[in-house]
């Protein structure tokens, strides 16, 4: 049958700690027999870009490559441009500088993290220590978002499902979402303050790693409001590896049934 190559793609960062967190999550994933995995990046991390990973897997003699995008949302334009450049979708739906990659074996691409069960549990682990009286709190999930119409709706849909799952998981009185693109957080907090004056907002960032958005943008946009916020992103977390394991196993089972 031959081996299956697993190409885990994340964004990339100049911060070596961020790269190490991603690598650790990938390394901790337990693979089915006959699978090889490599962690690569969309940009910045030279020598470990997407084409480097494809080349390495093909050199190992894989019969196919399954791509797992380590991105938070199907609304990410990066996920769309990667799908185009890998040849799994005919056209990019947004402007991209990515040129088509050289791929000599069949390629499949799985969805990103979205609202999957492991993401709910990772977020809950970041949120529950903030919550004091969930029955008197409004859970607010904040995502990156997009100004592109189709991508915006995908972000909104995924975040809404996450918020609903976490509202039930934590027993919150209400839940809502806000995107940074377009800038919604301040106006939504004002509206919620008027509508639910008795509820204290618990603000949770839906980001893979901590950085500019979690440390600066969200705190700046919540100034003047009384909110509970700790800025904790998803990684590092063992559930990220469990998510990879499940998605990879499901993909290989689907492939064997084809």
* DSSP string over 175-221: EEEEEEETT-HHHHHHHHHHH-TTPEEEEEE--SS-SHIIIIIHHHH
Beta bridge mates, 6: 37, 66
Query: According to the model, what pLDDT value does residue 15 have?
Result: 87
The per-residue pLDDT for 257 is 56
Entry field: residues in the chain? 258
Q: Give the tokens for residue 43.
A: 């940009």
**Strand pairing of 62-69 and 107-109?**
parallel
The CA angle 195-143-169, to the nearest 5 degrees, is 65
What φ, ψ does residue 98 adopt, rounded to 5°?
-70, 130
Q: What is the pLDDT along the chain (258 residues), one digit of tens a residue?
A: 569 999 999 998 888 899 999 999 999 999 988 899 999 999 888 999 999 999 999 999 999 999 999 999 999 999 999 999 999 998 988 888 899 999 999 999 999 999 999 999 999 999 998 999 999 999 999 999 999 888 999 999 999 999 999 999 999 999 999 999 999 999 999 999 999 999 999 999 999 999 999 999 999 999 999 999 999 999 999 999 999 999 999 999 886 655
Integer Cα distance of 234 and 246 in angstroms: 18
d(CA 134, CA 112): 29
Closest of 23, 5, 154 to residue 77, by C-alpha: 154
Q: How far is CA 27 from CA 6, 39, 59, 151, in A?
A: 12, 9, 20, 31
Give Cα separations from 89 to 84, 109, 117, 126 (angstroms).
5, 10, 27, 35
- Determine contact, residues 160/177, Cβ cutoff 8 Å: yes
Q: Which domains does the chain have, with CATH numbers?
A: 3-72+77-111+237-257 (3.40.50.1400), 117-221 (3.40.50.1400)
Q: Which long-range contacts (CB under 8 A, 24 or more apart) does 110-113 make?
A: 110/66, 110/67, 110/68, 110/69, 110/247, 110/251, 111/69, 111/74, 112/69, 112/70, 112/71, 112/72, 112/73, 112/74, 112/76, 112/79, 113/70, 113/71, 113/72, 113/73, 113/208, 113/243
In order of 10, 32, 167, 171, 196, the CA distances from 174 in angstroms are 32, 40, 7, 9, 9
Identify the pLDDT of residue 258: 52
């Amino acid at each position: 049958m031959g081996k299956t190559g697993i190409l885990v793609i994340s964004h990339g960062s100049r911060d070596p700690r961020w790269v190490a967190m991603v690598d650790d999550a990938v390394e901790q994933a337990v693979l089915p027999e006959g699978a090889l995995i490599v962690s690569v990046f969309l940009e910045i991390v030279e020598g470990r870009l997407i084409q480097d990973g494809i080349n390495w897997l093909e050199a190992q003699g894989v019969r196919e490559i399954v791509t797992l995008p380590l991105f938070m949302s199907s609304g990410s334009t990066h996920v769309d441009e990667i799908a185009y450049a890998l040849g799994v979708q005919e056209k990019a739906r947004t402007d991209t500088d990515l040129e088509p990659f050289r791929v000599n074996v069949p390629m499949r691409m799985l969805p990103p993290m979205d609202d999957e069960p492991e993401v709910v549990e990772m977020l809950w682990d970041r949120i529950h220590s903030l919550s004091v009286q969930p029955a008197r709190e409004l859970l607010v999930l904040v995502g990156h978002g997009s100004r592109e119409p189709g991508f915006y709706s995908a972000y909104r849909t995924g975040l809404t499902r996450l918020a609903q799952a976490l509202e039930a998981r934590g027993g919150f009185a209400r839940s809502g979402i806000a995107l940074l693109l377009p800038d919604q957080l301040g106006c939504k907090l004002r509206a919620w303050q008027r509508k639910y004056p008795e509820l204290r907002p618990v603000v949770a960032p839906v980001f893979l790693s901590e950085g500019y958005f979690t440390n600066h943008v969200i705190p700046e946009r919540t100034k003047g409001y009384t909110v509970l916020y700790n800025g904790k992103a998803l990684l590092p977390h063992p559930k990220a590896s469990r998510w990879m394991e499940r998605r990879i196993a499901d993909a290989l089972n689907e492939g064997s049934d084809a």
